[in-house]
């Protein structure tokens, strides 16, 4: 990575600058709407919590919020996930570091450890820049992700599945090659690159509403909108989104926290609330628990189907999320709820995403605490909510196994 001392400040303005840097290398992915999913999300859910048979108090009524959902399709990003943004930003920033090229940086290349999406992203960014990439991947990584990483010309080295095991192998590679580490999420350059997701989403919804028929409530297309991106300068992007926010909130998945913390930065000063979504299984909700305890949880061991969210939140990421202008809340969901949301995204939105991408919609649909909060804070007007579909790297076989029973 570029030396920390050379990194720009962690602000919205720096996210805008990052967007300028990566613009030639990434897609400005579309935003989708779907009236059926809006209706389902805005319908009270049946509460499964068992009632105390000795209690005479009536069961609480389910929350009844109103949602207008805007899906940011990073499953259509290069390498199939948002991770391309952070990887390209990190590599381009590294090339700007004084003395890096003179010290043989291009020949030594870069190294990282990743379960798949960051692996592919860094492999592509390194190939584009003309340098080698050494990628440490857990042995349990999905075969399509391993194949794709190798397809971009990377040298893949396998390791154990825990963060400690992966980091140890990466350290050995660095000692042997002199390659520069590009961590998957815990670095300012990665965070700023990922934050461009939030920047684009805010701008795209504002433009879509401005161009929608005035008779359509909330500016949502009656047919379900596929937003065709336009070209703007970074100053226009920043000013348009910050001056008149069209979104009330953004919900994004949280693993290491690079995406979520970057989106928090992208929303600074806009009035847009940002929420995180995590799986519950085996303590995968470490961000939610860490924020409640006021202390970052350093280790996670879970085999949630949302394999991209199995890592603990990074140090820089947690500082942003727990800061004064940090995340507005983090909520968690069960494995069955993730699968139900995944099915809806396929059947109703007609998009194929990996399980990690379905976690934000699962929170919107099933987390009663979140739904109650929206009902109380939004009132009858409801909220326009951006939903980040973080990636689509899943094989047909793996997708089928999720719904085999």
- Same domain assignment for residues 167 and 196: no
Q: Check residue 164 and give its pLDDT.
A: 82
Asked whether residue 170 is assigned to any structural domain, the reply reads yes
Q: What is the DSSP letter of 81?
A: B
CA distance 253 to 277: 5
CA distance 116 to 95: 24
Q: Between vectors from CA 281 to CA 279 and to CA 284, what angle results, nearest 5°?
A: 60
- Same domain assignment for residues 181 and 134: yes
Indicate the SS3 state at residue 250.
strand
- Same domain assignment for residues 311 and 294: yes
- Same domain assignment for residues 365 and 219: yes
Asked whether residue 2 is assigned to any structural domain, the reply reads no
CATH (domain of 349): 3.40.50.1100
Q: Check residue 229 and give its pLDDT.
A: 43
Q: Check residue 222 and give its pLDDT.
A: 36
Q: Check residue 88 and give its pLDDT.
A: 98
Q: Check residue 145 and give its pLDDT.
A: 80
Catalytic positions: 83, 115
Among residues 187, 208, 233, which one ends one of the domains?
187
Number of H helices, E strands in the chain: 17, 10
Q: Check residue 77 and give its pLDDT.
A: 98
Q: Check residue 221 and give its pLDDT.
A: 40
CA distance 365 to 234: 34
Closest to 273 (Cα-Cα) out of 189, 200, 198? 198
CA distance 399 to 61: 35
Q: Check residue 233 and give its pLDDT.
A: 47
301-320 confidence digits (pLDDT tens): 899 999 889 989 999 999 99
CA distance 194 to 19: 9
198-254 confidence digits (pLDDT tens): 999 999 999 999 998 754 444 444 334 444 444 444 454 445 444 558 999 999 999
Mean pLDDT in the chain?
A: 90
- Same domain assignment for residues 77 and 105: no
Among residues 187, 204, 237, which one ends one of the domains?
187
98-129 confidence digits (pLDDT tens): 998 999 999 999 999 887 789 999 999 999 99
Closest to 158 (Cα-Cα) out of 177, 178, 172? 172
- Same domain assignment for residues 56 and 121: no
What pTM, to 2 d.p., does this model score?
0.90
Residue ranges in the chain whose pLDDT is less than 50: 215-234, 236-238, 240-242
Asked whether residue 4 is assigned to any structural domain, the reply reads no
Contact, 251 vs 387, CB < 8 A?
yes
DSSP H or E stretch at residue 112 = strand 110-113
- Same domain assignment for residues 397 and 302: yes
Asked whether residue 367 is assigned to any structural domain, the reply reads yes
Report the number of distinct structural domains present in the chain.
2
Among residues 187, 222, 244, which one ends one of the domains?
187
Asked whether residue 243 is assigned to any structural domain, the reply reads yes
Q: What is the DSSP letter of 55?
A: -
- Same domain assignment for residues 107 and 171: yes
- Same domain assignment for residues 332 and 221: yes
Q: Between vectors from CA 86 to CA 34 and to CA 288, what angle results, nearest 5°?
A: 65
Q: Check residue 157 and give its pLDDT.
A: 96
Q: Check residue 334 and give its pLDDT.
A: 97
Structural domain containing residue 363: 13-17+25-81+190-402
- Same domain assignment for residues 181 and 311: no
DSSP H or E stretch at residue 357 = helix 355-366
- Same domain assignment for residues 66 and 212: yes
């Amino acid at each position: 990575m570029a030396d920390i001392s050379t990194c720009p400040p962690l602000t919205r303005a720096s996210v805008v600058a990052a967007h300028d840097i990566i613009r030639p290398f990434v897609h400005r992915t579309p935003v989708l709407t779907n009236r059926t999913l809006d209706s389902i999300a805005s319908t009270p859910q049946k509460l499964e919590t068992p009632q105390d048979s000795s209690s005479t108090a009536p069961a609480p009524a389910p929350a009844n919020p109103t949602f207008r959902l805007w899906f940011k399709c990073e499953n259509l990003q290069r390498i199939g996930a948002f991770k391309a943004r952070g990887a390209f930003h990190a590599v381009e920033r590294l090339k700007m570091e004084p003395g890096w090229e003179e010290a043989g940086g291009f020949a030594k290349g870069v190294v990282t450890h990743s379960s798949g999406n960051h692996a592919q992203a860094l492999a592509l960014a390194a190939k584009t820049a003309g340098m080698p990439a050494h990628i440490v991947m857990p042995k349990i990584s999905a075969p399509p992700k391993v194949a794709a990483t190798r397809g971009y010309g990377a040298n893949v080295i396998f390791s154990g599945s825990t963060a400690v095991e992966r980091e140890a192998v990466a350290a050995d590679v660095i000692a042997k090659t002199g390659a520069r580490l590009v961590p998957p999420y815990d670095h300012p350059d990665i965070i700023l690159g990922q934050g461009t997701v939030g920047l684009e989403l805010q701008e795209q919804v504002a433009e879509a509403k401005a161009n929608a028929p005035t008779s359509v409530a909330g500016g949502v297309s009656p047919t379900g909108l596929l937003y065709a991106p336009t070209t703007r300068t970074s100053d226009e992007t920043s000013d348009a989104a910050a001056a008149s926010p069209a979104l009330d909130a953004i919900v994004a998945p949280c693993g290491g926290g690079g995406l979520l913390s970057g989106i928090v930065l992208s929303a600074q000063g806009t009035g847009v609330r940002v929420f995180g979504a995590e799986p519950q299984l085996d303590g995968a909700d470490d961000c939610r628990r860490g924020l409640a305890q006021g202390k970052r949880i350093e280790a996670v061991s879970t085999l949630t189907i949302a394999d991209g969210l199995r890592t603990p939140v990074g140090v820089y990421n947690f500082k942003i999320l727990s800061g004064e202008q940090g995340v507005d809340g983090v909520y968690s969901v069960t494995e069955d709820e993730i699968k139900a949301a995944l099915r809806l995204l396929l059947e109703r939105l007609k998009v194929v995403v990996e399980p990690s991408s379905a976690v934000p919609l699962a929170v919107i649909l099933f987390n009663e605490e979140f739904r109650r909060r929206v009902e109380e804070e939004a009132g009858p007007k409801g909220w326009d909510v951006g939903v980040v579909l973080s990636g689509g790297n899943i094989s047909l076989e793996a997708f089928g196994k999720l719904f085999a029973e």
